[in-house]
Amino acid sequence: MTGTNGTLPMTGNADPVLPHLENTEVAAYLDKVLSPADRSRVEGHLADCAECRAEVREVAQVLGSRTVPRRWIVIGTMAAAAVVAGLLLAPGARVRTEAGGAPRFREGAEGVPAIAVVAPGESTAVAAEAVVFTWRAAAAEAHYQVRVLDATGGVVWTVETHDTTVSLPRTVTLERAGAYFWYVDALLADGGTATSGAHSFRVMR
Amino acid sequence: MSNAIPVELASLLEAADAAARDRAWDRFVSANTRLLLHTARTTCREHDAAMDAYAYLLEALRQDDYRRLRAFAANGRSRFTTWLVVVARRLCVDHHRQRYGRPRGDAPSAEQEHAARRRLLDLVAVDLDSALPPDGAVADPQSQLEAEEVHRALAAAVGDLGPRDRLLLKLRFEDDAPVREIARLLDFASPFHVYRRLNAVCALLRRALRRRGVEEPPL
């Protein structure tokens, strides 16, 4: 779409548009990687252009209100099973796999609120035909993402919702007697996040 | 500063076939969906509009074989997340304008600009009482002329400032940006340094106005 790489586009009822900053210039300015001459030129434009100034301020606010990035730990395949069991007891831990099959764990960032799960609880057995995930609301107007993983950390199912309960669709088949994990992340209205941490469950025979 | 390409982006742009591209796209979206949602919600306050904008910008990022993402990979100087927020916000604004038109409040009104000049003049300590009539009163031609002269002199003095100082004044007096925010944007060490620079700029403007024949009133 024209406009998003340089000038802002004209809509049907817009005034003629003056040249605006390129998106790369705005980003480079905010990251303070422009040369002194480019920085001076961009600041000159910002002094004269209310629209670009508003853009810079809003982008800075979005970036400034992000949560702290989480730490990642990569471990060898041989220790995978034991570490999975151990880390699942810690709140905020979850499992992912890399291409080679080695699980990769993400520890929750300090201060990230925990979401309380209702069902299935830790190590609960569930019927394959009726798997329902339920949790307590993190906050009003929160946006949730639910993930179900198999024992190797592979994502079996993921869904986004504003509700606090979701049912596994019939199109997703879980192996009987299989071990699975699930967790829910929340994006809050103020841009903050919350997480339930990974919880295990198993499917009845 | 490194402009390292995130692994999800590299995988997406290097995917060998359609199936690999689809998987890589899912991973890319998963890695960035929070940031994109947050941007959409910041730009479009209403929930439904934000969700529509989010869906629109995902589609736009996929367009033309991920043209926008490839452009960053080729030319990006900044952090990918910074660039992505800029592009995502622009896409959300485009989407909103296509649906609802350009909002009327985009550019500062003449009244807002006048108020901003007035605040700056107050700070520069130029006495406006003799130059401007009280609110609601009709100015005599002489007073009007003097007021216009003051405003012209101030505009010229501000125009002679360097770009950073002009931007500082615009952020402070036209946008009413908090000093803390100005400090972060313009890379001042602290809000205190912002106030110090404002004082210094106002001293420059006072000298410039005096050179142009605009005098402060006797104390």
CB–CB contact A11 B108 (8 Å): no
Minimum Cα–Cα distance from B56: chain A residue: A1
Q: Do the chains contact at A59 and B86, CB–CB below 8 Å? A: yes
Query: Is the whole model's pTM more than 0.90, yes or no?
Result: no
Verify whether the Cβ–Cβ distance A4 to B94 is below 8 Å. yes
Nearest to A165 by CA among A192, A198, A130: A130
Set of chain A residues whose Cβ sits within 8 Å of the Cβ of B43: 58
Domain spans, chain B: 7-100, 110-211
- Nearest partner of A45 among A64, A29, A62, A63, judged by Cα: A29
Give the best residue of B11, B25, B44, B86 to mutate against chain A (max A CB count within 10 A).
B86
Residue B203 has pLDDT above 60, yes or no: yes
Tell me whether residues B78 and A46 touch, CB distance under 8 A. Answer: no
Q: Which pair of structure tokens corresponds to residue A195? A: 């997480």
3 state SS of A139: coil
The reply to whether ipTM tops 0.95 is no
Residue from the list A1, A13, A187 with its beta carbon closest to the beta carbon of B102: A13
Contact A40 B162 (CB under 8 A): yes
d(CA B85, CA A63): 8
Domain ranges of chain A: 23-64, 71-203
State in words which class domain A71-203 has.
Answer: mainly beta
With a CB cutoff of 8 Å and minimum separation 6, the contacts of B13 are B5, B66, B69, B70, B73
Residue B86 Cα, gap to closest chain A Cα (Å)? 6
Give the gap in angstroms from C-alpha B195 to the nearest C-alpha of chain A.
18
Which residues of chain B lie closer than 8 angstroms to A158, CB-CB? 30
Indicate whether B130 pLDDT > 80: no
Q: Do B102 and A43 touch (CB under 8 A)?
A: no
Among B1, B72, B90, the strongest candidate for a mutation testing the A interface, having the largest count of A CBs within 10 A, is B90
- Which residues, including other chains, have CB under 8 Å from residue A13's CB and lie 6 or more apart? B101, B102
CB contact under 8 A, A191 and B39: no
Contact across the interface for B38 and A40, Cβ inside 8 Å:
no
Contact call for B42 and A58, based on CB within 8 A: yes
CA nearest A7 in B: which residue? B90
- Compare CB distances from B78 to A9, A28, A187 and report the shortest one's residue: A28
Question: Among the residues of chain A, which ranges form H helices?
Answer: 23-30, 36-48, 50-64, 80-88
CA nearest to B56, candidates A186, A203, A1? A1
Top pLDDT among B92 and A192 is at: B92
- Better pLDDT: B195 or B125: B195
- Per-residue pLDDT for chain A (205 aa), expressed as one digit of tens each? 344 444 343 333 334 456 899 999 999 999 999 999 999 999 999 999 999 999 999 999 999 877 544 444 344 444 444 444 444 444 444 444 444 443 333 334 444 567 888 888 887 888 888 889 999 888 877 888 888 888 767 788 888 888 888 999 888 888 888 888 888 888 777 667 788 877 888 888 7
